[in-house]
Structure 1
Amino acid sequence: MSYLFPNYQRKELELIKGSKCTLTDQTGKSYLDFTSGIGVMNLGYNDPELNQVLLEQANLLWHTPNLYENHLQEQVAEKLANGKEYVSYFCNSGAEANEAAIKLARKATGKSKIITFTNSFHGRTYGAMSATGQEIIHAGFEPLVPDFIYVPFNDIELLKAEIDQQTAAVMLELIQGEGGVLPAEESWIQAVQSLCKEYGALLIIDEIQTGIGRTGTFYAYEQYQIEPDIFTLAKGLGNGIPVGAMVGKTSLAEFFGPGSHGSTFGGNKLAMSVAYKVVERINQPKFLQDVQKKSQQLFTGLNQLAEKTSMIKAIRGKGLIIGIELANQDILKIVLDQLEIEGLLTLKAGQNVLRLLPPLTITENEIDQGLMIIEKVLHNLAKQTGFSEKGD
């Protein structure tokens, strides 16, 4: 028997060690990782510099409560502000960051209505789950936190029909990761921001999966010519060390005074020491240009593959968050399993989307290797299932 709740559908393999973009399981088999631990390991595995930073801080002090000053929090917050008028609150996860954003939006506006979008995912705690626009996530946990309204993604007219003077915030992902790697349209995002300003609502951007260089800019919102009132971070911020952040405009600071919100472990010294180094390394022009170059290489290869098989319906995403929409969910299950057998770890998104989230440090040769494995698996599956291959 297991002494664990069965809330995770786990694979039989256990990953024991990793180096750069390669993972090794309990049998000694190695895998090229196109998951980054679900968008977490942006700098890859067993990074010597991050290991050293963590070790040095561990030898000083692991933890102090937020009753005392923490210069590391100040340093990371300055880095996250990125030259703009933002302040940060630190926590331990993306769901916690979104909970803080929801609380701040209601406190600052004095209103409770929050509009989010169908197929969104914001976490599994009660506020974050209530913000998530997926019935399958809600099932069995009703009643949810009240006053969340869900409207279709990329549809401005239906948003106009719902937003009003009682709206505290509009909350969204710029790419719906769990929902199927669905990017927001730039004109729609700009119209959303305009509506928020018109009705006195805050714009909350969930950058938990898209932030920290994942899309080829340090924050995904930079590509949309907008400036959110609040945005949330986690995943890649700590490269595997649990850390999250809610970042808000300086004008909102007065609404989160002493006693309004807090966390025992949030912003602890171990997490902050690593987060500082992660941000310092990723938020560099050359690093981000390299991500864009690798993205172009991967998209080019995938588009060439899509021209060869009817099994691929669409390819979408930005930077190194990429979704390959396959013919159906049965095909997706087989593809995921076969890729693993061939030594490539990938992810599911939505019902029938193969999601790729390789470390940002992946090499050109590793991208080519991953493309070859994907092509091999789809080619073999096409022959077995009768799917046509274009040009045959």
Structure 2
Amino acid sequence: MSQNAAETTAAQLAANPAPEVTELTGLSSKALSERYSKSLLGVFGTPQRVLVRGAGCHVWDADGNQYLDLLGGIAVNTLGHGHPLLTSVITSQLATLGHVSNFFTSPSQIALAEKLLEISAAPAGSKVFFANSGTEANEAALKLTRRNAGTEAAPRTKVIALEHSFHGRTLGALSLTYKEKYRAPFAPLPENVSWIPAGDIEALRAAVDETVSAVFIEPIQGEAGVLELSTEYLQAAREITRDSGALLVFDEVQTGMGRTGQFFASAPVIPDVMTLAKGLGGGFPIGAMIVFGQENTAWLTPGEHGTTFGGNPVACAAGLAVIHTIEKENLLAHVRATGDWLREQLAGIQGIGAVRGAGLLTAFELKSANAPKLVTAALDAGFIVNATDEKTIRLAPPLVITTEQLATLVTALPQLISAAS
């Protein structure tokens, strides 16, 4: 579908905004930013822009400026903005049945669970738990793995995570996150988490013994600058944890749902638990924990975990629309080809060093330019990108982006790098 067609469809399907929103329509970004600072907690700092609408791979701010969205809401907007199927499915489901609590279920919840088990090649007896975000999915996974506690004589009290990992900001998920500055202000956190070097099989083998309840791994460490772990390492993790009796958890919150050119970056390795969120709902909040194998589904029993909003009919309908579109439009092949093209182009640009990634999750290092400065220069030039540190830029655009759209960034990068040097 063309950008103009997507924009028209989104506009036609959009509901009338609340009167309070209408009141703000037409205000400048400066005026809206001032209103923001007076009413919202400043945990995100000052917003870079006030965005008011989106269509396809573009968004517009309150001053009418257009931007190519190369971050996708941090790997969330799988199908871009205002995708007609996603918009219509959400609208239809909300008009039919919006929320029922988990005293009940719905056809969309059942269908999405079945679809996730299908595309993840889950063995018989596997099951799904729905949450609302990635950190909630990882909280559920951590609680599940706590049940793998061993015996009184031989307790399993340790959890292993990887250096440079990021698993979320709630207390449990934060306890697994490597960066000290994220954890220190909220100590004491859940204890007995150890971090080992990512990708080092021998370090993993040495760390995992009969005292370890679980190992948490991101197949690609996105927040760390798109650091990819090899299939060999993931296979070794599977063998090591199985031999020791520890549970293996793959955090695919950022890498799942086609981001890397396959539904899950860890495939074909099957863990005990996988967590998903971000791209699963295409912009509508939803998270999921897939528990593989009947033997693992028994770890959590009725009353031991829950959520009010998780698995609501609208979120599940959104997830189904995302998967349907990925399959129908053959987006996995598109993501692989487009991502390969992008990394090849980036590698040839002066001022860029290492280029990493898979599919449409890409990072490139700057030889001398400052990454946060480049983010600002790119935004001024109409591109939304992200810096993971002082030298690394991360790109995670919608999976529907074209090489023609990406080429506009490639063409602009030499000047942007110069401006950030």
Same-fold status (TM-score > 0.5): yes
Change (3 A) 1:109 1:281: farther
Distance 1:13 1:42 in 2: 21
2:318 is aligned to: 274
Distance 1:366 1:33 in 2: 10
Shift in Å at residue 324 of structure 1? 0.7
1:22 is aligned to: 58
State the Cα deviation string for residues 244-273 of structure 1 (Å, max 9, x = none). 000011322222221011000000111011
1:243 is aligned to: 286
2:334 is aligned to: 290
**In 2, are the aligned partners of 1:215 and 1:319 still within 8 Å (CA)?**
yes
Shift in Å at residue 313 of structure 1? 2.4
Tell me, yes or no, if structure 1 residue 43 matches structure 2 residue 87.
no
Change (3 A) 1:248 1:109: farther
State the Cα deviation string for residues 120-161 of structure 1 (Å, max 9, x = none). 000000110001111111121111101111111111222222
Distance 2:110 2:136 in 1: 19
**In 1, are the aligned partners of 2:78 and 2:283 still within 8 Å (CA)?**
no
**In 1, are the aligned partners of 2:234 and 2:266 still within 8 Å (CA)?**
no
2:270 is aligned to: 227
Cα RMSD after superposing both structures: 1.6
**In 2, are the aligned partners of 1:109 and 1:201 still within 8 Å (CA)?**
no
Shift in Å at residue 163 of structure 1? 1.2
Distance 1:170 1:212 in 2: 22
Query: Which letter maps to 1:37?
Result: G
Shift in Å at residue 55 of structure 1? 1.0
Q: 1:105 aligns with which of 115, 123, 145?
A: 145
Runs of 4+ in 1 over 6 A off after TM superposition: none
**Alignment size in residue pairs:** 375
Q: 2:401 aligns with which of 362, 368, 378?
A: 362
Shift in Å at residue 351 of structure 1? 4.0
1:69 is aligned to: 105
**In 2, are the aligned partners of 1:180 and 1:351 still within 8 Å (CA)?**
no
Distance 1:47 1:285 in 2: 13
> Could you say what secondary structure the match of 1:7 adopts?
helix
Change (3 A) 1:283 1:231: farther
Shift in Å at residue 109 of structure 1? 4.8
Query: Which letter maps to 1:189?
Result: L
> Could you say what secondary structure the match of 1:361 adopts?
coil
Distance 1:312 1:369 in 2: 17
Distance 1:22 1:147 in 2: 44
Distance 2:148 2:395 in 1: 37
Distance 1:301 1:107 in 2: 48
Distance 1:336 1:123 in 2: 23
**In 2, are the aligned partners of 1:94 and 1:208 still within 8 Å (CA)?**
yes
Distance 2:199 2:45 in 1: 32
Distance 1:53 1:175 in 2: 31
Q: 1:322 aligns with which of 344, 359, 362?
A: 362
Equivalent residues in 2 for 1:94-243, closer than 5 Å: 94-110=134-150, 111-222=156-267, 225-243=268-286
Tell me, yes or no, if structure 1 residue 54 matches structure 2 residue 93.
no
> Could you say what secondary structure the match of 1:180 adopts?
coil
Change (3 A) 1:226 1:12: closer
State the Cα deviation string for residues 211-232 of structure 1 (Å, max 9, x = none). 000000011111xx41111100
Q: 1:301 aligns with which of 319, 332, 345?
A: 345
**In 2, are the aligned partners of 1:212 and 1:283 still within 8 Å (CA)?**
no
Distance 1:181 1:154 in 2: 13
Distance 2:206 2:97 in 1: 53
> Could you say what secondary structure the match of 1:84 adopts?
coil
Distance 2:321 2:412 in 1: 33
**In 1, are the aligned partners of 2:148 and 2:246 still within 8 Å (CA)?**
no
Change (3 A) 1:43 1:177: same
Shift in Å at residue 284 of structure 1? 5.4
State the Cα deviation string for residues 163-196 of structure 1 (Å, max 9, x = none). 1101111101011011111001222222222111
Q: Which consecutive residues of structure 1, in runs of 5 or more, have no partner in the other structure?
A: 386-392
Q: TM-score, normalised by structure 2?
A: 0.86
1:373 is aligned to: 412
> Could you say what secondary structure the match of 1:140 adopts?
helix
**In 1, are the aligned partners of 2:70 and 2:383 still within 8 Å (CA)?**
yes
Q: TM-score, normalised by structure 1?
A: 0.92
Distance 1:102 1:185 in 2: 24
**In 2, are the aligned partners of 1:237 and 1:278 still within 8 Å (CA)?**
yes
Change (3 A) 1:280 1:108: farther
Change (3 A) 1:284 1:87: farther
2:26 is aligned to: none
Shift in Å at residue 275 of structure 1? 0.8
**In 2, are the aligned partners of 1:218 and 1:283 still within 8 Å (CA)?**
no
Shift in Å at residue 279 of structure 1? 1.4
Q: Which consecutive residues of structure 2, in runs of 5 or more, have no partner in the other structure?
A: 1-36, 151-155
**In 2, are the aligned partners of 1:218 and 1:282 still within 8 Å (CA)?**
no
Shift in Å at residue 69 of structure 1? 2.7
Tell me, yes or no, if structure 1 residue 84 matches structure 2 residue 117.
no
Distance 2:331 2:318 in 1: 18
**In 1, are the aligned partners of 2:231 and 2:266 still within 8 Å (CA)?**
no
State the Cα deviation string for residues 335-363 of structure 1 (Å, max 9, x = none). 11111111110011144210001110001
**In 2, are the aligned partners of 1:36 and 1:359 still within 8 Å (CA)?**
yes
